[in-house]
Amino acid sequence: MQTAPIYDLKPWTATYAGHVSADLPAPAYASLAHLVYNASTEFADQLAFTAVVPNGMNGSMTYAQAHRYSDAFAAYLREELKLPAGSRVAVQLPNSLAYPIVAFGVFKAGCVLVNTNPLYTTSEMAHQFKDSGAQVLVIVEMFADKLGEVLPKTDIKHVVVAKVPELFPAVPRGIIRAVQRYWNKVLPPITVPHTRFAEVLAAGERHLAKVRVQDYWKDIRPDAIACLQYTGGTTGVSKGAVLTHGNLLANISQTMAMAGKYFEEGKECVLTALPLYHIFAFTVNLLCFYSIGARNILIPSPRPVQNLQRAIENYPVTWISGVNTLFNALLNEEWFVAFPPKHLKAALAGGTALQHVVAERWEKVTKTRIAEGFGLTESSPVVSFNPLFGKSKPDSIGIPVPGTEVRLVDDNGAPVAVGEPGELIIRGPQVMQGYWNKPEETAKTIKDGWLYTGDIAVMDGEGYFKIVDRKKDMVLVSGFNVYPNEVEDAIAKMDAVMEAAVVGIPDSKSGEAVRAYVVRGEGATVNEADVIAHCRKFLTDYKVPKSIVFRDELPKTPVGKILRKDLKAEVKKEFAK
């Protein structure tokens, strides 16, 4: 008799005992608009958002104001622009007070949010806008000079332009604008027809006397599309993941089930350095924390990392979310090490592998843990978390969130044994409906209801998972698999190294060899021989880098994920000569 794979037995549920229900409760809301309405009403008088620029100047907005402004934006879309429900609205904003107003307004209008990176090139903008069929674009003014080239290639009919200090008090708003215009010279002329954000809110406000915004969203069903969330493009062409209200609400419920007992309603303060247009910050920082009445400290530009100093010093931050590079950068700042946030409960890590040395040093400096998780755009995004309750395991992405089925499979789709590496596949209510207008790509990724993540992982007997690496990033040396994460983790143990990234290069003897791109720490004089000698202490010979390339910086996404694909493209060009 064939026994069921251990993954079907869900050994991780033993860790849930006394902490989390294995059965995911039904979402409390029918739509994201419903969630926003309830939170806005319950916490009306509390501060919802504070946007902080590097010099400490700031602007804030209460829950009641966020509710009123987003109602006005919804009315603008439906009454002024006459958009029908389901219309796509592209949002190309940094973290700012305008962002939640627009996002919530889109949901209340029954429209579909298309999150867009403000730093995109004209070709990337044109691709995403055309692919999504967006008719409206809300863009930050400093990048609006690209629109003359982009708009003719898209279906966009209406452009709304917002400022970074939107809704700030008059004096700091004027100072910031003057610095942007005359000192930094980052405010280009806008050559396309557009409407200013303040005018949009005023127009929507006039309609609120005649319409009831709840009528736009009262009949939205969980299977209605809420977002087209485009993949980061770190491994190929960006695709739009179709996320419904039900997908996102389920993932909020799953995240809250894992961490909710550590959240105090109306008392939390979360630092949002990750951009809200990224799925991790969008679901966790924006939606989860809004639902419990938290105050959200928004950082418009987290680079350089000193831009976070005033926010961390001036506000009672209880939670920080980030990626490995952000935590590592903070730990290399004297001001942070000397005065870590004294109200901090924990940090939440995702997006890329959290290096063990970074996690250890963070705990030593802040006296708090980093709870590492795993997720992807296609799963709204949270799949698993190293729990704050029960047993925490270093270098692990923890256990699946409730309601999620997880398996590790070989190239034939058969489950692998415990402790053996396999591709991580998942099934659950947070999994996307597919890729927008790409049925063939959807069929490659979702098979028999299972989402194939492309990540290689191992599971121990207690149901804790560890990501080994991306399947596409694996280096094959003389028939042996080398996972870049393992090599990068070894190099990160060097005090003289700030960052490292590992890729494969062609080799006439072994097929491929390991190359490391290394960024030295400030003032460090480490050389190639030093790095190789260090790696030999931790790695078998075939995993040790055969070449080291030193760089001043490594290519990254806006959220700080190192772009191995860019380094691999350089290697391909180098060896094509």
Q: In this structure, what CATH number is given to the domain that contains residue 367?
A: 3.40.50.12780
pLDDT score at 235:
45
216-232 residues labelled b (16+ CB within 10 A) or e (exposed): bbeebebebbbbbbbbb
Judge if 484 and 517 occupy the same domain.
yes
Q: Which of 272, 263, 287, 253 is nearest to 345 (CA)?
A: 263
**Could you read off the pLDDT tens digit of each residue along the chain, which spans 577 residues?**
445 678 888 999 999 988 888 888 888 899 999 999 999 999 999 999 999 999 999 999 999 999 999 999 999 999 999 999 999 999 999 999 999 999 999 999 999 999 998 988 898 899 999 999 999 999 999 999 999 999 999 999 999 999 999 999 999 999 988 888 878 888 889 999 999 999 999 999 999 999 999 999 999 999 999 999 998 654 456 799 999 999 999 999 999 999 878 999 999 999 999 999 999 999 999 999 999 999 999 999 998 999 999 999 999 999 999 988 899 999 999 999 999 999 999 999 987 778 888 999 999 999 999 999 999 999 999 999 999 888 888 889 999 999 999 999 998 999 999 999 999 999 999 999 999 999 999 999 999 999 999 999 999 999 999 988 777 888 888 767 788 888 998 999 999 999 999 999 988 777 889 999 999 998 899 999 999 999 999 888 889 999 999 999 999 887 788 898 899 889 988 898 6
Q: What spatial distance separates the first Cα and last Cα of the chain, rounded to whole Å?
A: 57
Helix 63-75 / helix 32-42 crossing angle, nearest 10 deg = 140
Judge if 536 and 446 occupy the same domain.
no
**Domain span at residue 136?**
13-18+22-455
434, 24 contact by CB (below 8 A): no
pLDDT score at 472:
81
Judge if 448 and 478 occupy the same domain.
no
Q: Is residue 554 domain-resident? A: yes
- What the block records as the tokens of 372 is 């590492």
Q: Where are the beta strands (DSSP E) in 376-463?
A: 382-385, 399-400, 405-409, 422-427, 446-447, 450-459
Among 388, 421, 455, the domain boundary falls at: 455
Judge if 493 and 444 occupy the same domain.
no
pLDDT in tens, 223-239: 999 999 998 654 456 79
Question: Cα(531)–Cα(524) distance, rounded to whole angstroms?
Answer: 12
Q: Which of 514, 544, 513, 512 is nearest to 531 (CA)?
A: 544
Q: Is residue 151 domain-resident? A: yes
Residue 373 has φ and ψ, to the nearest 5°, of -130, 180
pLDDT score at 3:
59
Question: Cα(74)–Cα(577) distance, rounded to whole angstroms?
Answer: 55
pLDDT score at 546:
94
Judge if 443 and 491 occupy the same domain.
no
Q: Is residue 96 domain-resident? A: yes
488: domain CATH number is 3.30.300.30
- What the block records as the tokens of 152 is 């003719």
β-strands 112-115, 88-92 pairing: parallel
Q: Where are the beta strands (DSSP E) in 365-445?
A: 369-375, 382-385, 399-400, 405-409, 422-427
Reduced DSSP (H G I as helix, E B as strand, rest coil) percent helix, strand, coil of the chain, to 5? 35, 25, 40
Q: Where are the beta strands (DSSP E) in 355-394?
A: 369-375, 382-385
Judge if 109 and 189 occupy the same domain.
yes
Q: Output the CA–CA distances (angstroms, integers) from residue 342 to 313, 314, 318, 337, in the order listed.
A: 9, 11, 8, 12
- What the block records as the tokens of 139 is 């863009």
Burial classification of residue 172, based on how many CB atoms lie within 10 Å of its CB (0-12 exposed, 13-18 middle, 19 or more buried): middle
Q: Is residue 448 domain-resident? A: yes
Q: Is the peptide bond before 25 cis (omega within 30 degrees of 0)?
A: no
Can you say whether residue 160 is alpha, beta or left, with left for phi > 0 and alpha for psi between -120 and 50 degrees?
beta
Q: Is residue 137 domain-resident? A: yes
Question: Cα(304)–Cα(86) distance, rounded to whole angstroms?
Answer: 38
Helices (H) and strands (E) in the chain, counts: 21, 26
Judge if 65 and 33 occupy the same domain.
yes
Judge if 271 and 217 occupy the same domain.
yes
Judge if 376 and 486 occupy the same domain.
no
Output the CA torsion sign for 534, 539, 542, 545: negative
Among 422, 455, 488, the domain boundary falls at: 455
How many Cα atoms are found within 13 Å in the side-chain-facing hemisphere of 382?
A: 35
Reported pTM? 0.86
Q: Is residue 502 domain-resident? A: yes
Judge if 404 and 521 occupy the same domain.
no
In the chain, the number of structural domains is: 2
Output the CA torsion sign for 198, 200, 201, 206: positive
pLDDT score at 1:
41
pLDDT score at 260:
72
Question: Cα(563)–Cα(561) distance, rounded to whole angstroms?
Answer: 6
Q: Is residue 2 domain-resident? A: no
Q: Output the CA–CA distances (angstroms, integers) from residue 328 to 11, 322, 324, in the order listed.
A: 33, 10, 6
pLDDT score at 160:
98
Question: Cα(329)–Cα(45) distance, rounded to whole angstroms?
Answer: 35
Judge if 343 and 491 occupy the same domain.
no
Judge if 360 and 502 occupy the same domain.
no
Q: Is residue 8 domain-resident? A: no
Among 427, 455, 483, the domain boundary falls at: 455
